Structure 1
Amino acid sequence: MSASPAEAAYRRPTALAIFLIVAGAIGFWAAFMLTVDKFHLLQDPGAQLSCNFSVLVGCSKNLNSWQGSLLGFPNPILGLAGWTATIAVGVGLFAVRARFARWYWIAFNVGVVLALALVIFLITTSLTVLNVLCPWCMVTWAVTIPTFWAVTLYNLKEGNIPVPERARKLFGTLYSWVPLITLVCYAIVAVLAQIQLDWIHRAF
């Protein structure tokens, strides 16, 4: 059976697929390590975790805070589910010949937006309330930020999120700048951390 014109014109987003698989694997590993550390703390509240390097850099304070269990269970469990879904989407992009349905992309994008909102909240909390940098949390931040930009800009340029044609061209250009946009976001977080925690002098 021959492909429809729309299917024939469709270019599979291979780079996005690879990125989602890699980012998902990294995020899953960070969530898994945080989950293991949480189990250690439940067994022994005074346990010395491998991610605790100093007063400034460690996981225990984050995991024991109420912010570490926003929905009544440890946040890393959300990460295990969310990053598994991200890997599944990446693999799915390789496995199917036609486009995913618009509702599928929008649903995935909503999940990515919620993940970024949670990360922004946790970054703010870490810098202004807990005053500590959690290594595995920072790994999660590092992959959530580019995942948000990559997925959102892809959906905007492809029209999965309806926008005018001129805007689609703009978002298509921005999509190619995702690495640069991500670096800018990293720099903003680093500057805020330096202002709030003076991490350069305290960590080294």
Structure 2
Amino acid sequence: MNDTRPAVHAAPIWLGVLLIVTGAAGLLGAFSLSVERVELLLDPQHTLGCDLNPFLTCSGAMESAQGSAFGFPNPFIGLMAFPAPIIMGALTLGRVAMPRWVWTVFSIGVLGGLVFVLWLAQQSIFFLGFVCPWCFLVWMAMYAMSFPLWVWGFGSGALPAPSGLRRTAAKVSSWGWVLSLALAVIVVVTIMVVLPGIPRFLFSGF
């Protein structure tokens, strides 16, 4: 049977806005961490603005082995990767229809990013025992970006999927944010439970 799905797909405006906002948020986090990393290299005694307490610290994350997972600082990955969703979002707002292979490659990249930040969150919470504030912003940006993109992609046919999954995704194409919100809540609750010093610090002024 011939595939009757269109060869090119123009994403909805809301997805374009989401990709730009989350891409910009992730890029802000990556840029801020990169600047802080350079400052720390220039002056190892420098106190970073995001070192709030032993449980909320950027320098601890940067100086850990997990902070250079591929042999160089992780923020450099964000500097290279986060322009991609911004560009995709801008093309979407321009009503540019893109081939399925473009959406597929982009979605695979987003999946790789999500897996990476989930691993970093797991390492940070359960092994290092602290959370980097700028890293947390990057995590949230990836959570917010991922599921709405995939649900729309599967439902519209922009991403390859079995017909059953495609029909289901099409019915809930604008509700992917629920999955993103659920993942964000799970991570935040995990942080609060495993690292009780964070909520004590956040609510110490009340």
In the superposition, the TM-score normalised over structure 1's length comes to 0.89
Structure 2 residue runs without a partner (length 5+): 1-5
Alpha-carbon shift at residue 11 of structure 1 (Å): 5.8
The reply to whether residue 90 of structure 1 matches residue 89 of structure 2 is: yes
Q: 1:194 aligns with which of 192, 195, 199?
A: 192
User: What secondary structure, in the 3-state scheme, does the structure 2 residue paired with 1:162 have?
Assistant: coil
Cα displacement (A) at 1:174: 3.6
Q: How does 1:11-26 map to 2 (within 5 A)?
A: 12-26=11-25
Change (3 A) 1:57 1:19: same
Q: CA deviation at 1:95?
A: 3.0
State the match for 2:3 in structure 1.
Answer: none
Identity of aligned residues (%): 31
CA shift, 1:138, in A, is 0.5
Identify the residue that residue 102 of structure 1 maps to in structure 2. 100
- Identify unmatched segments of 5+ residues in structure 1: 1-5
Distance (Å, rounded) in 2 between the aligned partners of 1:174 and 1:119: 26
Asked whether the equivalents of residues 56 and 131 of structure 1 are also in contact (C-alpha less than 8 Å), the reply is: yes
1:53 aligned partner? 52
1:35-46 → structure 2 map (5 Å cutoff): 35-46=34-45
Q: Matched residues in 2 for 1:56 and 1:26: separation?
A: 22
Decide whether aligned partners of structure 1 residues 10 and 152 sit closer, same or farther in structure 2, where only a CA change above 3 A counts: closer
Match of 2:86, SS state, is helix
> One-letter code of the match for 2:133?
P
Provide the C-alpha distance between the structure 2 equivalents of 1:172 and 1:80, rounded to a whole number of angstroms.
33
Distance in 2 between residues matched to 1:10 and 1:124, nearest whole Å: 35
- SS of residue matched to 1:39: helix
Give the alignment partner of residue 170 of structure 1, picking from 148, 151, 168: 168
* 2-structure distance, mates of 1:22, 1:41: 29
Q: Identify the residue that residue 80 of structure 1 maps to in structure 2.
A: 79
Q: 1:156, 1:163 within 8 Å by CA — same for their partners in 2?
A: yes
2:65 alignment partner AA: W
Structure 1 residues 1-48: Cα deviation after superposition (integer angstroms, max 9, x where no partner): xxxxx59x9664111011111111111111100000000111112210
CA contact (8 A) 1:56 1:203 kept: no
Give secondary structure in 2 for the equivalent of 1:175. coil
Amino acid at match of 2:34: T
- Give 4+ residue runs of structure 1 displaced > 4 Å after superposition: 9-12
More helix by share: 1
Count of equivalent residues: 197
Amino acid at match of 2:189: V
Q: Mapping of 1:24-39 within 5 angstroms?
A: 24-39=23-38
Task: Return closer, same or farther for 1:31/1:21 CA change in 2, 3 Å cut-off.
Answer: same
Identify the range of structure 1 (191-200 vs 83-92) with the bigger mean alpha-carbon deviation: 191-200
Letter in 1 for 2:15: L
SS in 1 for 2:98: coil
Q: Corresponding residue for 1:135?
A: 133
Change (3 A) 1:64 1:123: same
Secondary structure of the structure 2 residue equivalent to 1:129:
helix
How far apart are residue 202 of structure 1 and its match? 4.5
**Under a length normalisation based on structure 2, what TM-score does the superposition of the two structures give?**
0.88
Partner amino acid for 2:100?
A: R
> What is the rounded CA distance, in whole Å, between the counterparts of 1:12 and 1:134 in structure 2?
33
CA–CA distance in structure 1, aligned partners of residues 201 and 194 of structure 2: 12
Equivalent residues of 2:32, 2:134 under 8 A apart: yes
* Corresponding residue number in structure 2 for 1:119: 117
RMSD, aligned CA = 1.9
